Structure 1
Amino acid sequence: MTLPTTRVSFPGGAVTGESTVLAVHPLGDGRFGLVTAETPFHPLDHTWPDQPADTGTLTVAGTELAVVDCLTGAVGPDSDELLVGADIPVRRGDEAWSWLVLHVLAGDPAAAVGGELLGAEVALAVDAERRLAVSAAHTGCHLLALALNEALAPRWRKDPGRADAFGNPDFDSLAMASSVMDTEASTDVYRLGKSLRKKGFTVDAVEELPALAEALPAITAAVNERLAGWVAADAPVRIEVPGPELTARRRWLCELPAGSAAIACGGSHLHRLGQLSSLETELTLSDDGSELTAVTRPKRI
């Protein structure tokens, strides 16, 4: 199976498109993955599955079929076998592999349309409301990272060797354990272990700096004040797209009052922060002090 890497239009905000069916792959449990040359659908990334997959519909030969999930598939250089999700042994972007978006259907599409699908023209439509809600959460996640880095900057006793767009120590990147978003919020979990402390992050009280647990209400207030200011500024947001391929190394860019911020990102986003009426986070520390969790909720206008 020799297939070209799927070209995607979701980074620019597209929710509809037309393309040609290149393959239909059985996934088990009666499900099938349909591959097209181009798609507006965002698939779940097997390497960093933070943003959930788009859902929606595709219409082929006059028949509308529900896309219940969307996965990443890949075909390696030494085999024609199509591997899906966790079965892919390399990170997304390995140039020796072809990278594919699989539109997951609950049943056999050939049986549904009553004929061969390869080469057929298909119309694709993403659930636009769901996409917008997830995009808001993803944009909020990146803003939270920058605001949290700023609020926690005084807690570094030495330079950890990695800074964000505004020169603050990149706590978000250095401590990140997991990041997941849905239609309501983004949830980011940070590990405050020995490796982070060796890099210079201070959890306990030192000199005039209170312990993190004691300082957390003030830190939360500072983060939310910064987020509110950015939303009020209605900063523009865009995705830098070097190419249409699923594997293109894209970046999230936001023109904040303090300057332009950039974060590597393969997901979808809002176009302006003015699309939000508010953005607030809740910070909680685990009982043993080993993890900090941020739940960031955007509210759209």
Structure 2
Amino acid sequence: MTLPTTDTVVLYPAGSTRNGAVVLHLETVADGSLAVILDETACHPVDAGWPDQGSDRAVLVTSSGREIAVTEAVVAATDGETLFIGTDVPVRKGEEGWTFVVAHLVAPDAALAERDEVTVVVDEQYRNALSIGHTACHLASLALNRAVADRWTKDVRADGLGAPDFDAAAIASSLIRENGSTDVFRLNKSLRRKGFTTDGLSEELSAIEAATSATLAAWISEDAPVHIDVSGPGLTDRRSWVADLAEASVSIPCGGTHVSALSELGSLAVSLELSDVDGTPTLTMLTDAAG
């Protein structure tokens, strides 16, 4: 069967952890794994373009009941002739003439065939832990933006709640963990030229941490609903995380998975740490849900 010409239909934005699917394409990739391309999937893949949330844990169940472990689900793309996996994808999403798909990597001896019908079954407990971590990450970024708002001396782009968007301006990396996240911000010359002052930051770090935590506690107490807005069912269709806080509904572009209400986070603990990485001042924020 030829390579797909339409994006994989993804079901995880709505919280799905199980679906029936048809095998569209099979291909052995560089590491020897077998890439399984399905017409649709509930399995969240890691995206090499911004690998904040990793792959779901999942199995493909054949019509005979045999379970095939998915070692990793990865965003892949094809120009109709070649399948590119993960970091080898040479274009951005939406590039004309390209199709983006979820490659389910399995053992080379999986004994699947194109047109086979399978059931995708995602580990619900692990998915929920990552969803908690991802919602916590977005909420903490908004709370941190508010806590450091008075450190800006110039006008910069605001976040969805009107605070200067420190997260967008300074983020270097974000890692979604089970029930938490690790976010690293560069406090470099470029950020300071934009108007962010780092003078006295070390002395005020505890106060900023406390202010961030207090904002988070207030928001979680509201038990605001959370959902994913989608522009379409395909892998490259735009998706946004939306939280309907009492003060305003706020959205952040996001391709990950999330809880359905802030109360599912329990309580959040935030810790901030300053360090130096190759001569660049760096702020690390650890956010963890107590459940």
Q: Aligned residue for 2:88?
A: 87
Tell me, in whole angstroms, the C-alpha distance in 1 between the residues paired with 2:27 and 2:3.
13
Q: Secondary structure at the match of 2:263?
A: helix
- List per-residue Cα deviations over 1:195-246 (Å, max 9, x = no partner): 1001000001xxxxxx010000000000001111111111100000110000
User: Is the 1:47–1:92 contact (alpha carbons within 8 Å) kept by the matching residues of 2?
Assistant: no
**For the aligned residues, what is the CA RMSD?**
1.3
Unmatched 5+ residue regions in structure 1? 111-115, 205-210
Q: Secondary structure at the match of 1:117?
A: coil
How far does residue 289 in structure 1 lie from its aligned partner after superposition?
6.8
- List per-residue Cα deviations over 1:43-101 (Å, max 9, x = no partner): 0012111000111111113121111210111002xx50100011111122324210010
How far does residue 2 in structure 1 lie from its aligned partner after superposition?
3.4
Q: Aligned residue for 2:62?
A: 60
User: Is the 1:30–1:108 contact (alpha carbons within 8 Å) kept by the matching residues of 2?
Assistant: no
How far does residue 271 in structure 1 lie from its aligned partner after superposition?
0.3
How far does residue 27 in structure 1 lie from its aligned partner after superposition?
2.0
Match of 1:51 among 21, 33, 53: 53
Q: Which moved more, 1:130-139 or 1:276-285?
A: 276-285
Residues 95 and 231 of structure 1: CA distance in aligned 2, closer, same or farther (over 3 Å): farther
How far does residue 107 in structure 1 lie from its aligned partner after superposition?
3.0
Amino acid across the alignment from 1:270: V
Match of 1:149 among 145, 162, 179: 145
User: Is the 1:46–1:92 contact (alpha carbons within 8 Å) kept by the matching residues of 2?
Assistant: no
Q: Aligned residue for 2:162?
A: 167
Unmatched 5+ residue regions in structure 2? none
- List per-residue Cα deviations over 1:4-59 (Å, max 9, x = no partner): 21000000000000010001121244411111000001100121110001111111
Tell me, in whole angstroms, the C-alpha distance in 2 between the residues paired with 1:169 and 1:231.
22
Q: Scaled by the length of structure 2, what TM-score is found?
A: 0.95
Q: Aligned residue for 1:120?
A: 116
User: Is the 2:8–2:39 contact (alpha carbons within 8 Å) kept by the matching residues of 1?
Assistant: yes
Give aligned pairs, total: 286
Match of 1:14 among 10, 13, 16: 16
How far does residue 247 in structure 1 lie from its aligned partner after superposition?
0.3
Match of 1:73 among 60, 71, 76: 76
Q: Secondary structure at the match of 1:158?
A: coil
Residues 2 and 104 of structure 1: CA distance in aligned 2, closer, same or farther (over 3 Å): closer
Tell me, in whole angstroms, the C-alpha distance in 1 between the residues paired with 2:31 and 2:154.
53
Q: Aligned residue for 1:290?
A: 281
Q: Aligned residue for 2:290?
A: 299
Match of 1:133 among 106, 124, 129: 129
- Between the aligned residues of both structures, percent identity stands at 44
Q: Aligned residue for 1:256?
A: 245
User: Is the 1:146–1:164 contact (alpha carbons within 8 Å) kept by the matching residues of 2?
Assistant: yes
Q: Secondary structure at the match of 1:290?
A: strand
Q: Secondary structure at the match of 1:80?
A: coil
